[in-house]
């Protein structure tokens, strides 16, 4: 059906459906092996204990759990979020500075409402999280990429980007960054660069929005200390229950600088009043009554095995001209095909062959042909991952061969 354009705001008209959404619709088909969606593996959750807790929340605490709650979020949930952040590497997060949101997606949206004017710039990694790009688009913010390498942001390049933007008279609303096991690149920003990035931003008076859903999904060793740990007054730090517990509860949060808390929290309240009371109570129970860190360890072990199976299959079945780094954590393997390969067209050929990935174009603020793609491994068992890579192999290898003859 044609949209009724005359009723739509400029904002709504400017929003383009993301390629990921398109893919999700297709990827629902049972015939396809989906290497597209970033769904966490939930079958290993302690479902029996959770169902007992969930039933009690209604039977014994129903008048509380089904009621409105405080705009900033329940104190117990904010304290539990602080405990999660302590494991992330921020040992002293003050629950008074935490705002609970319906997922970190809503926290990104709130950051746009609070800090961005239409036409402002948000500086991003290229590639970056497609959901954030869509939100920036909705708020008429201009996502500008700053150069990255396989480790993420390059501080000297960020300095140049911010200097150039200042020279053009552009207002920068904030830097949006995913320093740990980024979606989609998987990049892990080294500790020394984290401080340098913070220093560059502080020098330019630019706020940092640090999004960290994957920090604890580290395949070897402990999470790297977030930027926010040592740069609290210039960083809005985003956390979520989505990857360590459940995305369906829709619970995330922002740890906000004290000087910005009131405005951030009022902007959040104007959008959604508060995150679901019931979901907050269920999430709090997960974090205080159950062995949540044990669960994170268990799924991280599973993801490590799946990532290895996926990387091994790509190495075995795809042309060696396809470049990628073995995932060190998080949810994704990011692959770069030879220049000129259009992975959007390749995606359609892959779907005909029975497997689907997300083409790199979805994750870039820059339009045009992209030769990159994202494979997700958490939700598919190792055998199916290998099968998916094999199904895609003829189309991938043909596209690489075609690129060679050009």
Q: 269: Cβ–Cβ under 8 A, 6 or more apart, which residues?
A: 71
CA 314 to chain centre: 23
Burial 23-45 (b: 16+ CB within 10 A, else e): beeebeeeebbbbbbbebbeeeb
Q: Which residue is associated with the tokens 């405080």?
A: 70
Q: Select from 100-108, 161-169, 261-269, 360-368 the region that touches ligand PMP (CB under 6 A).
A: 100-108
- Cβ within 8 Å of residue 149, ≥6 positions away: none
Q: Is the dihedral of CA 337, 341, 343, 347 positive or negative?
A: negative
The CB-of-250 to ligand PMP minimum distance in angstroms stands at 7
Among residues 152, 179, 213, 350, the one that binds ligand PMP under rule CB under 6 A: 213
Binding pattern to ligand PMP, positions 8-47, x when CB under 6 A?
A: ------------------------------x---------
Per CB under 6 A, contacts with ligand PMP among 346-405 are none
Q: Which residues between 183 and 212 bind ligand PMP (CB under 6 A)?
A: 183, 211
Residue closer to ligand PMP, measured from CB, 69 or 252: 252
Residue sitting closest to ligand PMP (CB): 103
Q: Are 360 and 366 a contacting pair, CB within 8 Å?
A: no
Q: Rounded to an integer, what distance in angstroms lies between the CA atom of residue 338 and that of residue 49?
A: 49
Q: Which is nearer to ligand PMP, 176 or 318 (CB)?
A: 176
Q: Is 280 in the site for ligand PMP (CB under 6 A)?
A: no
Least spacing, CB of residue 169 vs ligand PMP, in Å: 30
Nearer to ligand PMP, 252 or 350 (CB): 252
Q: Which is nearer to ligand PMP, 37 or 341 (CB)?
A: 37
Least distance in Å: CB of 130 to ligand PMP? 8
Q: In Å, how far are 17, 110, 162, 175, 242 from 105, measured between CA atoms?
A: 16, 9, 25, 16, 10
Closer CB to ligand PMP, residue 21 or residue 52?
21
Q: Does 134 bind ligand PMP (CB under 6 A)?
A: no
DSSP for 133-193 reads: HHHHHHTT-EEEEE-EETTEE-HHHHHHHHHHHHHTTPPEEEEEE--SS-TTT-----HHH
Measured between alpha carbons, how far is 333 from 327 in angstroms, rounded to an integer? 6
Q: What is the dihedral of CA 314, 24, 185, 129, to 10 degrees?
A: 180
Provide, rounded to whole angstroms, the least separation between the CB of residue 214 and ligand PMP.
7
Of 188, 255, 176, residue with least CA distance to 218: 188
Question: To the nearest whole angstrom, how small is the minimum distance from the Cβ of residue 1 to ligand PMP?
Answer: 29
Q: Measured between alpha carbons, how far is 376 from 343 in angstroms, rounded to an integer?
A: 16
* Contact between 81 and 253 (Cβ < 8 Å): yes
Question: Contacting ligand PMP (CB under 6 A), which of 105, 137, 148, 372?
Answer: 105
How many chain residues interact with ligand PMP (CB under 6 A)?
14
Enumerate residues 6+ apart whose C-beta is below 8 A from 283: 77, 80, 241, 245, 246, 249, 251
Verify binding: residue 104, ligand PMP, rule CB under 6 A: yes
To 5 degrees, how large is the angle CA 384–CA 385–CA 391? 85
- The contact pattern for ligand PMP, residues 223-262, with x = CB under 6 A and - = no contact, is -----------------x-x----x----x----------
Q: Is the distance from CB of 375 to CB of 359 less than 8 angstroms?
A: no
Q: Segment near ligand PMP (CB under 6 A), from 1-9, 78-86, 103-111, 139-147?
A: 103-111
Is 103 a binder of ligand PMP (CB under 6 A)? Answer: yes
242 versus 364: smaller Cβ distance to ligand PMP: 242
C-beta closer to ligand PMP: residue 144 or 376: 376
Name the residue nearer to ligand PMP (CB basis): 55 or 273: 273
Piece of the chain touching ligand PMP by CB under 6 A; list 99-107, 256-264, 267-275, 284-292: 99-107
Cβ count near 149 (within 10 Å) = 10
| Contacting residue, 32, 178, 197, 386, with ligand PMP by CB under 6 A | 178
**CA within 13 Å, CB half, 127:** 27
Q: List interacting residues with ligand PMP (CB under 6 A).
A: 38, 103-105, 129, 131, 178, 183, 211, 213, 240, 242, 247, 252
């Amino acid at each position: 059906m044609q949209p009724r354009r005359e009723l739509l705001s400029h904002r709504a008209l400017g929003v383009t459906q993301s390629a990921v959404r398109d893919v999700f619709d297709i990827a629902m088909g049972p015939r396809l092996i989906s290497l597209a969606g970033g769904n966490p593996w939930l079958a290993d959750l302690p479902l029996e204990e959770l169902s007992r807790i969930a039933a009690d929340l209604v039977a014994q605490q129903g008048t509380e759990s089904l009621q409105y709650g405080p705009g900033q979020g329940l104190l117990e949930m904010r304290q539990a979020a602080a405990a999660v952040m302590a494991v992330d590497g921020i040992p002293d997060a003050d629950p008074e500075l935490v705002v609970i949101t319906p997922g970190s997606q809503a926290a990104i949206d709130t950051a746009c409402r609070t800090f961005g004017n239409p036409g402002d710039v948000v500086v991003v990694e290229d590639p970056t999280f497609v959901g954030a790009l869509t939100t920036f688009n909705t708020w008429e913010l201009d996502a500008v990429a700053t150069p990255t390498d396989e480790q993420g942001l390059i501080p000297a390049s960020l300095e140049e980007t911010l200097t150039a933007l200042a020279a053009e008279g552009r207002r920068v609303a904030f830097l949006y960054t995913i320093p740990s096991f980024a979606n989609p690149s998987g990049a892990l920003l080294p500790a020394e660069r984290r401080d340098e990035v913070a220093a560059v931003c502080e020098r330019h008076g630019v706020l940092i929005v640090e999004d960290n859903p994957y920090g604890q999904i580290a395949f070897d060793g402990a999470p790297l200390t977030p930027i926010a740990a040592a740069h609290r007054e210039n960083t809005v730090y985003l956390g979520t229950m989505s990857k360590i517990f459940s995305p369906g509860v829709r619970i995330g949060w922002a740890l906000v600088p004290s000087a910005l808390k009131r405005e951030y929290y009022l902007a959040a309240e104007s959008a959604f009043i508060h995150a679901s009371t019931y979901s907050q109570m269920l999430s709090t129970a997960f974090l205080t009554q159950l062995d949540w860190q044990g669960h994170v360890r268990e799924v991280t072990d599973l993801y490590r095995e799946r990532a290895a199976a996926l990387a091994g299959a790509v190495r075995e079945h795809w042309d060696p001209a396809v470049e990628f780094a073995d995932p060190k954590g998080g949810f994704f393997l990011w692959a770069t095909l030879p220049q000129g390969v259009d992975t959007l067209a390749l995606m359609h050929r892959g779907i005909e062959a029975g497997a689907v990935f997300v083409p790199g174009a979805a994750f870039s603020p820059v339009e045009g042909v992209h030769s990159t793609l994202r494979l997700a491994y958490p939700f598919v068992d190792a055998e199916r991952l290998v099968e998916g890579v094999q199904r895609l192999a003829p189309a991938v290898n043909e596209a690489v061969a075609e690129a060679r003859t050009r």
